[in-house]
Amino acid sequence: MSAASSSSSAVFEGLLDAGRQLESELVAFRRDLHRNPELSLQESETAAKVAAELRALGYEVRTGMGAHGMIADLIGPVAGPTVALRADMDALPIQEETGLPFASEKAGVMHACGHDAHTTMLLGAARLLAEQKDKLRGRVRFIFQSAEEINAGARLMVEAGVLDGVDEIYGLHNLPTLAAGKVATRFGSLMGSVDRIDIALEGKGGHGAIPDQTIDPVVAGSAIVMGLQTAVSREISPFSPVVVTIGKLHAGDAYNVIPHRAELTGTIRTFHPDVQRTMQERIERLAGSIAEAYRCKAKVTYTEMSPVLVSTDACVAHVEQVTDALIGRDNRVEAAPTLAGEDFAIYLQQVPGCFFWLGSGPQEGAEQAFGLHHPKFTLHEECLPLGASLLAAVALKRLSAG
């Protein structure tokens, strides 16, 4: 091998080309997953297909890691750090309306967030890196995860020990509002925290025409819905984004009966870990005090589901350097922050790493595609080989001698 061809730019060009050569296989694998989506914690067939592909590539696969999750390691000839790459495998309870020839064959279940593509890209990376095994100083761990959509899978995988010995972790998500062929990165916070609140209100039911003999939890619940908004607008800096949404409100069964109880369920999203830590106290105080003012009793259950997703600066810089080498600086943009959640944040609480966006949408100027979680969500499959090459390059560059 000549000095020139062993330079890192030649390695990157090689990875990009090798990825492109896999395109038709990656597309076929992704379409098969797309036809056969499985909901969170039910990804058994998907997991079996992934495990079979990994084994065919010579990997030893550890299955059943956190529900249907699995890991496989690629160990280089020289000792060094361990870099983990992660993909999610689950689909959503959505009825697909794309009309595509490979649309979901399961009623009411759809890969509407592109996790079929993520799984395919990571498999592609496992294949590309297996060919580069001799260059590795250290180990690559491939993590295929269950149940991202319900914020359960990453926690289960961490509990199963998938991060044991891992020094850094990287992952990506497709983004239909960014053109395929582009990448978006961001230092610091990228995605919001996800918490859940459940408020059980107890009053005293009675006749709808005789309210003075009752304690009405519907009126108290309505006041709480409005009052909780002051936790955002009056207590937190307008420069710290927070969303408080009550998505479910249930009380009563009859038009002329004041019910005994009311139940409110909602979600809190924040963008700064410091703010997230204050939300439980605010919600409990506001809901409790408002309920008391209306003579009701409130029981607030606050559940932290997923932290703010904060990438590590050095790892973001690494992804940016690799991206620029692979596709050029012109194809990398700064990611806009979002309050949507992603349980990759759980891994980032344990080890340094970076999560980034991979464009999966139409080129600029074309009609915009439907967004993530939409029944007509589609992605441009040209992102598949690029995603595979990019993930492979992120690990290879981190673990190669040069």
Residue ranges binding Ni ion (CB under 5 A) = 113
How long, in residues, is the chain?
402
Closer to Ni ion at the Cβ: 113 or 305? 113
Half-sphere exposure of 373 (CA within 13 A, CB side): 3
Closer to Ni ion at the Cβ: 173 or 397? 173
Work out how close the CB of 113 gets to Ni ion at its nearest, in angstroms, rounded to a whole number.
Answer: 3
Work out how close the CB of 144 gets to Ni ion at its nearest, in angstroms, rounded to a whole number.
Answer: 14
Q: How far is CA 16 from the centre of its chain?
A: 25
Closer to Ni ion at the Cβ: 50 or 199? 50
| 103 exposure class (CB count in 10 Å sphere: 0-12, 13-18, 19+) | middle
DSSP single-letter state for residue 339 = -
DSSP 81-122: EEEEEEEE--BBS-------TT--SSTT-B--S-HHHHHHHH
Q: How far is CA 227 from the centre of its chain?
A: 30
Closer to Ni ion at the Cβ: 166 or 175? 175
Closer to Ni ion at the Cβ: 112 or 262? 112
Residue closest to Ni ion (Cβ): 113
Q: In angstroms, rounded to a whole number, what is the distance separating the alpha carbons of residues 202 and 205?
A: 9
The dihedral built from the CA positions of residue 23, 29, 32 and 37, taken in this order, carries a sign that is negative
Closer to Ni ion at the Cβ: 143 or 251? 143
Closer to Ni ion at the Cβ: 116 or 216? 116
Work out how close the CB of 402 gets to Ni ion at its nearest, in angstroms, rounded to a whole number.
Answer: 34
Work out how close the CB of 279 gets to Ni ion at its nearest, in angstroms, rounded to a whole number.
Answer: 23
User: What is the number of other CB atoms lying within 10 angstroms of the CB of residue 78?
Assistant: 12
Q: In angstroms, rounded to a whole number, what is the distance separating the alpha carbons of residues 112 and 148?
A: 13
Work out how close the CB of 149 gets to Ni ion at its nearest, in angstroms, rounded to a whole number.
Answer: 7
Q: In angstroms, rounded to a whole number, what is the distance separating the alpha carbons of residues 261 and 264?
A: 10
Work out how close the CB of 173 gets to Ni ion at its nearest, in angstroms, rounded to a whole number.
Answer: 6
Work out how close the CB of 241 gets to Ni ion at its nearest, in angstroms, rounded to a whole number.
Answer: 20
Closer to Ni ion at the Cβ: 82 or 360? 360
Q: In angstroms, rounded to a whole number, what is the distance separating the alpha carbons of residues 142 and 388?
A: 12
Work out how close the CB of 243 gets to Ni ion at its nearest, in angstroms, rounded to a whole number.
Answer: 18
DSSP 192-219: --EEEEEEEEE-B-EETT-GGGSB-HHH
Q: In angstroms, rounded to a whole number, what is the distance separating the alpha carbons of residues 351 and 345?
A: 10
Helix axes 8-21, 383-399, angle to 10 degrees: 150
Work out how close the CB of 152 gets to Ni ion at its nearest, in angstroms, rounded to a whole number.
Answer: 14
H or E element that contains 334? strand 332-334
Closer to Ni ion at the Cβ: 113 or 147? 113
